[in-house]
Amino acid sequence: MGNKRSYGDACGIARALDVVGERWALMVVRELLLGPKRFTDLRAGLPHISPDVLAQRLRDLEEAGVVEHRRLPPPYASQVYELTASGRALEPVLMELGRWGGTFAPPPSDDMCMSPDAYALSLRALFDPARAGAFAARVELRLGEERLRIVVADGHVEADRGELPGADAVIETDPATLIDVLHGHRPLADALHAGTMRFAGDKRKARRFTELFPLPTPAAA
């Protein structure tokens, strides 16, 4: 890893942090969990990282065997970055980190941002199987120009980028309203009345869907 700093500790946690503990490293991994991306796509998902820092993190992660890059064949001829098997193995770590971090979630604010991939992954992380029970639904979530496809079945959720033809329900909203409603900061009825959240298709399933992603309860001191 070149001149990267090391904890100099034989513990597996320390060795893992030697690889992905630098600022932005895990965020880059997060942005690649749902599939390959171009450099410009990564910049769009991480608007607060500088191009130089992003390039350095990609080099570090590639050197560590976490990320690899390849060139798409014509007519695209673009270079994309994707996770290796080692990188993909970080998914459960990030899911648990997301659940743990949810206990520190601040109230929504205008200066906070999340990429579409981050929204999809947060749905995976915060999904409550006990609340879902036997509920099953195929939902397309529309956040402006972005589309997420979410499938709930058998106490499990799959969330990914893209449209979902034949969805049971379509939920159209903006990111701030979505977070407000899912995390209980705003009553669903208020968002529906104001028109900042709209349902199409099976509205009963859409309503039930919004109840499945509570923030985790903070651990007792």
Domain's final residue, options 95, 119, 146: 95
pLDDT computed for residue 8 by the predictor:
87
pLDDT in tens, 190-212: 999 999 999 999 999 999 999 99
Query: Within a domain: residue 219?
Result: no
Q: Which long-range contacts (CB under 8 A, 24 or more apart) does 201-205 make?
A: 201/167, 201/168, 201/169, 201/170, 202/137, 202/168, 202/169, 203/169, 205/135, 205/137, 205/139, 205/168, 205/169
Mean pLDDT along residues 139-157: 95
Percent with pLDDT over 90 in the chain: 76
Mean pLDDT along residues 151-168: 96
- Does residue 214 have a cis peptide bond before it, meaning omega lies within 30 degrees of 0? no
Q: What is the CA radius of gyration of the chain?
A: 19
pLDDT in tens, 34-87: 999 999 999 999 999 999 999 999 999 999 999 999 988 777 778 999 999 999
- Count Cβ atoms below 10 Å from residue 110 Cβ, excluding itself: 6
Query: Within a domain: residue 29?
Result: yes
Question: Mean pLDDT across the chain, nearest whole number?
Answer: 91
Domain's final residue, options 95, 129, 160: 95
Q: Write the DSSP string, 146-160.
A: EEEEEEEETTEEEEE
pLDDT computed for residue 171 by the predictor:
98
129 in the same domain as 74? no
181 in the same domain as 114? yes
Q: At what angle do helices 12-20 and 25-32 cross, to 10 degrees?
A: 80
Mean pLDDT along residues 162-166: 95
134 in the same domain as 46? no
Lookup result for tokens 């450099």:
39
Considering only residues 216 and 26, tell me which one the structure prediction assigns the higher pLDDT.
26
Query: Within a domain: residue 183?
Result: yes
pLDDT in tens, 30-40: 999 999 999 99
Is pLDDT at 94 greater than 60 in this prediction?
yes
CA distance 56 to 50: 10
pLDDT computed for residue 221 by the predictor:
46
* Beta strands at 169-173 and 137-143: parallel, antiparallel or unpaired: parallel
Considering only residues 215 and 76, tell me which one the structure prediction assigns the higher pLDDT.
215
pLDDT in tens, 108-117: 555 667 888 9
Is pLDDT at 1 greater than 50 in this prediction?
no
Q: Name the domain count of the chain.
A: 2
Q: Give me the CATH number covering residue 78.
A: 1.10.10.10
Angle at 181 between CA 177 and CA 183, to 5 degrees: 115
Structural domain range at position 139: 109-209
Mean pLDDT along residues 105-131: 82
pLDDT computed for residue 24 by the predictor:
97
Mean pLDDT along residues 180-192: 92
pLDDT computed for residue 179 by the predictor:
87
